[in-house]
Amino acid sequence: MSLFGNNLSDAEKCFIIHGIQDDFRTDGRSCDNYRTIELAVNVLTNTHGSSKVRLGNTELLVGVKVELGKPEKATPDEGRIEFHVDCSPNATPAAQRKAANKDFVNNIESMLVRTYANKIAIDLTSLCIIKGKMCWIVHVDVLILECGGNILDCTSLGVKSALQDTGIPRVVVKSGDEGEEEVELPDDPFDVQHISVNNVPILVTVSFVGTRHIIDATVEEESCCSASVVMGVTRRGRILGVRKQCGGSLNPETLVEMLEFGKKSGRQLHVALDKMLKSYEKGTTGYL
């Protein structure tokens, strides 16, 4: 994404490409290594669930708020999940125009919408309160604080952690006056139900640089890559959405290899993330 691309000289790009060919990237990683991931959940008090993720130099905050609303006419027994991505001015160097910023943000939003728009990722029927009249609308707000490459992977990690942390108030449906149903919120703020995140996808971006494919590209590596494929992978290895980015072309065999590689990496990421979330001791740590 040219929004953050440093203007690298041809010699620097050559250096990066040759290094990757020898399985040795500029920061010493091999082609299938992720940078260190730092994760914290429950960092914001005004939300129902939140998380902060740092992947190398990429940092973002995800806040989940649930609101009561009306379900769509076409799906009266389902709730809704909506994604909003915002790029903080802290992340963009001063010279960027607003239009380019909007494309960058739409790119992330549309990929999230694509991989969550199916019956597998989130069970939307669990968000329904009164069929046809009331449901939970889950607003997922992503705030990008710093972009150091691989923003899609980082976003999906943040979204999964925040959704796992989300506590939806347990409402009770009672029949009120005139036979209409009324909804009562609980008095106890800790009386919550959680959304099941077993099948939530993690986005994996596999970039093709020179002659090899890598995962978790930094900004410099992204500016050298000719083509990259983003895929949403569930824990079981199902692929919930694929999109190719960057204007280059791929051999069909290479594409297949990249998809298999992405699926393997995605599953490993799920395992690591779940282990981390399980052992995480909750407490409002704040941003520091």
Partner 1 sequence: MAGLELISDQGYRIDGRKPTELRQIRCRLGVFTQADGSSYVEQGNTKVLASIYGPHEPSSNMRSKISHDKCIINCEYSQASFSSAERKHRPRGDRKSLDMAAHIKQTFESCIHTTLYPRSQIDIFLQILQSDGSNYCACVNAATLAIVDAGIAMKDYVCACSASLAKGTTLVDINHVEESAGCAELSAAVMPKLNKIVYSELNGRLHEDEIGKVLDSVVLGCNDMFAVMERTVREHVEETVSNFTHS
Partner 2 sequence: MATDSRRLAVPQSSLDPKSLCPAKVERLLNDEEQRLDGRYSSESRGIYLQCGTVSQAKGSCYCELGNTKVVCSVYGPKDVEHYEDFQMEGKIKCEFKYAPFSCSKHRGHIPDLSEAEISDVILQALTASVRLQCYPKSLIEVFIIVLENDGSAVSASITAASLALADAGIEQYDIVTSASVRVYGNGNFLEDPTSVEEYRPQDFDSESGGDLNHGLVTVALLPTLNQVCAVLSNGHLECDVLVETIQMCTSLAQNLYTAARKCLLSSVKSVDQNNA
Q: CA 149, CA 219: separation in Å to the nearest integer? A: 4
Instruction: Supply the minimum distance, in Å, between the C-beta of residue 90 and partner 1.
Output: 4
> In the complex with partner 1, which residue's Cβ is closer, 89 or 132?
89
Contact letters (x/-) for partner 2, 194-223, by CB under 8 A? Answer: -----x------------------------
Q: Does 80 bind partner 2 (CB under 8 A)?
A: no
Angle, vertex CA 240, rays to CA 239 and CA 241, nearest 5: 100
Enumerate the β-bridge partners of residue 37.
Answer: 55
Positions that interact with partner 1 (CB under 8 A)? 44-47, 50, 57, 61, 63-65, 67, 84, 86, 88-91, 93-95, 97, 139, 141, 143, 145-146, 148, 286-288
Residue 268 interacts with which of partner 1, partner 2, none, CB < 5 to 8 Å by class? none
Is the Cβ–Cβ distance between 235 and 201 less than 8 Å?
no
> In the complex with partner 2, which residue's Cβ is closer, 185 or 271?
271
Instruction: Supply the minimum distance, in Å, between the C-beta of residue 82 and partner 2.
Output: 11
Determine the size of the site formed for partner 2 (CB under 8 A). Answer: 43
Question: Comparing C-alpha atoms, which of 233, 243, 238 is closest to residue 270?
Answer: 233
- CB within 8 Å of 264: residues ≥ 6 apart: none
Angle, vertex CA 65, rays to CA 61 and CA 70, nearest 5: 145
The window from 23-31, 32-40, 99-107, 140-148 that contacts partner 2 (CB under 8 A) reads 99-107
> In the complex with partner 1, which residue's Cβ is closer, 64 or 230?
64
The window from 53-61, 171-179, 206-214, 258-266 that contacts partner 2 (CB under 8 A) reads 258-266
DSSP states of 74-109: S-TT--EEEEEEEE-TTTS-TT--HHHHHHHHHHHH
The window from 55-63, 128-136, 153-161, 250-258 that contacts partner 2 (CB under 8 A) reads 250-258
Question: Comparing C-alpha atoms, which of 199, 167, 183, 201 is closest to residue 282?
Answer: 167
Tokens 């002659």 locate to 211
Question: Comparing C-alpha atoms, which of 97, 78, 81, 80 is closest to residue 89?
Answer: 97
Instruction: Supply the minimum distance, in Å, between the C-beta of residue 216 and partner 1.
Output: 18
In the complex, which residues of this chain contact partner 2 (CB under 8 A)?
73-75, 78, 97, 103, 106-107, 109-111, 113-115, 117-120, 199, 227, 229, 234, 237-252, 255-256, 259-260, 263
